[in-house]
Structure 1
């Protein structure tokens, strides 16, 4: 039998497929009643057994092992080894000489992995009578074109790049360097004119994206109500008006086919993206790192898997913890203005998922952050963000049950499960996602209705931190240093999951949306500060997670830094040392040395111990501008300093993070009194320890005690309006 078809580069040509059909006919006759045969592809090499359908697909997409020239495992009885080898080599030489092709093994391997990631276990085991997915017309057309493009040279004399590899690399450069679509099209036109006339380079960005149509991950555009009441999705998909507020779905509807929706949610499905992780051999090995390669030290926290919440989840769901490939996710969301202009009222809320299976130095890289939702609109979604989270929650429910996924490491399919472990946000977004309003008299979600608050002139202050001290601490009896109240109460008790669910029964079924029917609804006393039962409770495991919502340490550090720097330097609109703050002290009848004094018919403001003089402000700013930082560390700090006025403005979150931890203890030395300077050093040390890579359990207990002392000292030194969160 002629075996030259084995060495053809184009495995979609008629000659290869005819030879493959003859080989499979012989293999079927040889296997008899056996359900499976050996697979002679380049990977399996006659070691693994599959059904004839699967063997056919492996040989079609991976090619046959070039050393398997005597088909003894598939029924060949009269081998003629030498003649076959020579004829095959001659045939291969003729093919390479007559066709302008390149050996793009890297791209070929990627395409093979992507294709096989779409198979389920039933198809791989040959247990189904229906045709496998590669026989579907759309799949056949996509992968046929992609595999051909991976072999077609960019131009006839090019031996290094195929058209597919060249376009992929160009698009990668576009993303890394943030080229616009217009500039990318101009570059393609220049390259197309520069290369030989018969080159295959696309002429526009649209054509290049179309070339990769079979590889990319999709984005679903879901129409939303103008008032954030519903998504026009599932049972509401065919409606033209919102059933709750009766607003039209369309901004423009001329009746002639031109329809512009009021609002669009962009949803990026999670399931195919998780499956894509296991298609790559390198990334699939990372997905087991948290259990198989992570070094666990007793009494040390270096990874979320060392925390109590992770371990408690494993105890509740031991079947989930058995397989290291099951994915654990965290959700984060925040709003920003995409136009860098706060005068323009527009909000963009991305919802990002983070994968904790991978090593920390890999999972925190930008390519492994999953952008799941992109919420656009004139206003922030607020508590109505649950409406937009519906597609993600539905997919998380499906992923917690099981999803067939192909693992390129074991070359087998398995049942993949995924779970959302917690959320990480700043404090305002914490309230939107949890359903607890974190402002007003009961702002603290941990203290619940036992939050200690103090009405002030222009806001509510959260004082009484000496309530969290030890029972016999001397500061509990010294109310004049705090809120003029001797504290005998214990710290608030942490509520259990059952108690929280009992509170949430009052707000079940609350109508979401910004329509007139819900805009002016007032909460009653039984509801406390709850506005809704969070959509996350639809997940069957959410009520069992001890730590559901986390506060981002970077946002918290920025708030601390802004308040401290604004008060020390007396920055406009950022200083907490205001006239109203001093009158608050008079109303509370505490700290008389800081109260306003009337002299000659005018109110005079005494110099506080935490205020820097103009020369001291200039000296501190000179120090900050003189520091030389490593590249990419905190170079923005020097540009934000105004030495002449002694002011700082325009700091980013990371700049505040560095300023609070490293710069303040050094730069403020000699400018402040001992007690104020010591307090700022304690704050800096607290954040340094909190942000370290490894934390021992005894250090965490120490930090928990230290933060109570720090908050008490802040309350004793700074004005009552000095709010951190």
Structure 2
């Protein structure tokens, strides 16, 4: 907790134990405290895996000691002994899975949480504005397509966030993340097909809980990993697919996509401008995204071969890094270089933002997604007013305005079409994940052993689950042997009895001022 060491916390427990009566049951060490929390924690599954991400050692593979695909050992070598022969060796790789079903049951076991889980149906303001996913057309479409699911307000619609943290570094699973999602997918299938019996503490009734995956939250590379679509190369657009128009920059050696005008309205003046773009008018129109059944028909017969063949990011942040890196000419970040100029990429301009720039290294350091969020929406469009030509400044300001609108807690759906038409000249899509990234920062704070970051995160998260459960459970429980304060319940709200104003004398005010100072 807040970087507190185990030794220091043990000393605190020892001090408290001496202060309390002799027969108290307070644990005397951090280890004993953890042992006390263990019975209260929920299930955590440790599933062995292959470093090549071939398979998980569960179900039909749970008793195997070598990978059925690559033949590698399940266990590490120890003292020169092959892991296949030494079954007591530690596994090469472990998946820590926190089953979602018992955690959903615990949510409904708390009356307050069970009530809040129905807020979208019983407490939400409905005025046609977008405040909550329940205001979206997708929510209503699901209710009409699956009325049995939509009629039960307690059924869950889940979001899958797959961005913000990677404890494995360059050895991340990438496209083979499917292997590690298998236990979650199995639970989600059960929740959709059959459902599970759950007790609702708010209504004091049992009901069959069902759930569905409502949306995913990820950046573009993670989108490719999850969907299986190739988001790199000449045909990287999942909407245009084979009709994607790309331009290969021979000096920078990368693909760029300049056909943004197809997303503009058919009567937009930019479609007729030749000199400002590629010397041609644009008459094509953007394709519509494929529907779910069309995608399923394409992929249903694909034979996926998981595993590596050998042993061996958020939109506003990316936009902000690119713009500011170019403005400040940050090495490695700027998009304006010799190669770029050879490819006739427009040049950037210099600026100076003191609070975000290291004057020693002349670069931005330590910026997180939220820092870029503040910079894009509150500072950048002001800073560049006198530093850039009008056309460049207007383009950047529109980008800042775009992100400012979609970040609002309330969005007017009637503005979205006009907003998209304005932004397609620079950006095409939007998605937000700041709350999830901030929570990822909390999870990273649990890491005590940098050699095993995932184990540290699981241990910290499990302890947090137990503490939250105990706090909720004891919230309305009367203490035994502890006198009840006569002031309890009297300090809430706004007092109306005995309300009077006392104006102190100048001498008393000066004495109070001196005491505070």
- Give your verdict on TM over 0.5: yes
The two structures have a TM-score, normalised by structure 2, of: 0.76
Q: The residue matched to 1:405 in structure 2 has which SS?
A: strand
Indicate the SS of the match to 2:46: strand
Would the alpha carbon gap of residues 474 and 201 (structure 1) be closer, same or farther in structure 2, given more than 3 Å must change? Answer: closer
Whether contact under 8 Å (1:331, 1:422) holds in the other structure is yes
Aligned mates of 2:247, 2:199 — CA distance in 1 = 58
Give 1:494 deviation, angstroms.
2.6
What is the match of residue 672 of structure 1? 388
SS of 1:498's equivalent?
Answer: helix
1:281 aligns with 2:111: yes
Q: Could you tell me which residue of structure 2 aligns to residue 341 of structure 1? A: none
Q: Is the 8 A contact 1:301 1:307 kept in 2?
A: yes
**Residues paired across the two proteins, number:** 420
Are positions 1:611 and 2:349 aligned together?
Answer: yes
Superposition pairs for residues 650-669 of structure 1, below 5 Å? 650-669=366-385
* TM-superposed deviation, 1:473: 3.6
CA contact (8 A) 1:454 1:460 kept: yes
Q: List alignment gaps of at least 5 residues for structure 2.
A: 429-517
- Give, in whole Å, the separation in 2 of the partners of 1:296 and 1:199: 53
User: Which has the higher relative contact order, 1 or 2, with Cα contacts under 8 A spaced 6 or more apart?
Assistant: 2
Q: What's the Cα RMSD here?
A: 2.4
Report SS of the residue matched to 1:297: coil
- Residue number in structure 1 paired with 2:92: 262
Matching of residue 229 in structure 1 with residue 54 in structure 2: yes
1:11-50 alignment, distance < 5 Å:
none
C-alpha separation between the residues in 1 aligned to 2:373 and 2:41? 37
User: Deviation of residue 437 (structure 1)?
Assistant: 1.7
Q: Matches of residues 45-84 of structure 1 in structure 2 within 5 Å? A: none
Cα distance in structure 1, aligned partners of 2:7 and 2:236: 49
CA distance in 1, matches of 2:214, 2:280: 41
Alignment of 1:316-335 (within 5 A): 316-334=145-163
Aligned 8 A contact 2:402 2:419 in 1: yes
Q: What's 2:309 paired with?
A: 515
Structure 1 residues 557 and 214, CA, compared in 2 at 3 Å: closer, same or farther?
same
- Rounded Cα–Cα distance in structure 1 between residues aligned with 2:46 and 2:384: 52
Distance 1:209 1:516 in 2: 40
Cα separation, 1, equivalents of 2:89 and 2:257: 51
Equivalence for 1:684: 400
C-alpha change, 1:257 and 1:398, in structure 2 (3 Å) is same
* Pairs within 5 Å for 1:371-386: 379-386=171-178
Contact 2:166–2:172, Cα closer than 8 Å, also in 1: no
Structure 2 Cα separation of the partners of residues 583 and 222 of structure 1: 52
Question: Whose Rg is larger?
Answer: 1
Match of 2:39, SS state, is: coil
CA contact (8 A) 1:252 1:261 kept: no
The alpha-carbon distance between structure 1 residues 180 and 391, as it changes in their structure 2 partners (threshold 3 A), is farther
Per-residue CA deviations over 1:623-648 (Å, capped at 9, x if unaligned) read xx4xxxxxxxxxxxx2x323577543
Three-state SS of the structure 2 residue aligned to 1:455 is strand
CA deviation string 1:361-416 (max 9, x = no partner)? xxxxxxxxxxxxxxxxx601111000011111111111222211111122221111
Q: CA deviation at 1:442?
A: 1.1
Q: Alpha-carbon deviation of 1:193?
A: 4.1
1:499 partnered with 2:215: no
SS at structure 2 position matched to 1:480: coil
Assess if the C-alpha contact under 8 Å between 2:13 and 2:27 holds in 1: yes
Please give the secondary structure, in 1, of the residue aligned with 2:397.
helix
Alignment check: 8 A CA contact 1:229 1:515 kept: no
Aligned mates of 2:176, 2:38 — CA distance in 1: 35
The DSSP-based 3-state class of the residue aligned with 1:285 is helix
Q: Secondary structure at the match of 1:666?
A: helix
- Give the distance between the partners of 1:660 and 1:314, measured in 2 at CA: 37
Whether contact under 8 Å (1:682, 1:710) holds in the other structure is no
Match of 1:419 among 204, 208, 212: 212
The residue matched to 2:90 in structure 1 has which SS?
strand
Q: Which moved more, 1:429-438 or 1:486-495?
A: 486-495
Q: CA 1:307–1:381 in 2, change beyond 3 Å: closer, same or farther?
A: same
CA distance in 2, matches of 1:208, 1:643: 47
Match of 2:242 in 1: 449
Distance in 1 (CA, whole Å) between partners of 2:179 and 2:146 is 28
- In 2, Cα distance between equivalents of 1:335 and 1:677: 31
> How far apart, in 1, do the equivalents of 2:342 and 2:221 lie?
28
Deviation of 1:489 after TM superposition, in Å, equals: 2.0
Quote the Cα distance in structure 2 between the aligned partners of 1:484 and 1:191.
Answer: 78
After TM superposition, give the deviation of residue 664 of structure 1 in Å.
Answer: 0.9
Measure, in 2, the Cα distance between the counterparts of 1:182 and 1:221: 28
Please give the residue correspondences for 1:117-136 in structure 2 after superposition, counting only pairs within 5 Å. Answer: none
Q: Measure how far apart 1:309 and its partner are.
A: 1.4
Give the 3-state SS of the residue equivalent to 2:53 in structure 1: coil
Partner Cα separation in structure 1 for residue 65 and residue 7 of structure 2: 35
Matches within 5 A, 1:282-681: 282-298=112-128, 300-334=129-163, 336=165, 346-347=168-169, 379-400=171-192, 401-457=194-250, 458-505=253-300, 508-516=302-310, 555-585=314-344, 608=347, 610-612=348-350, 617=351, 620-621=352-353, 625=354, 638=355, 640-643=356-359, 647-681=363-397
User: Quick one: structure 1 residues 410 and 711, their matched pair in 2 at CA, closer, same or farther if it must change by over 3 Å?
Assistant: closer
Partner of 1:123: none
SS in 2 for 1:413: strand
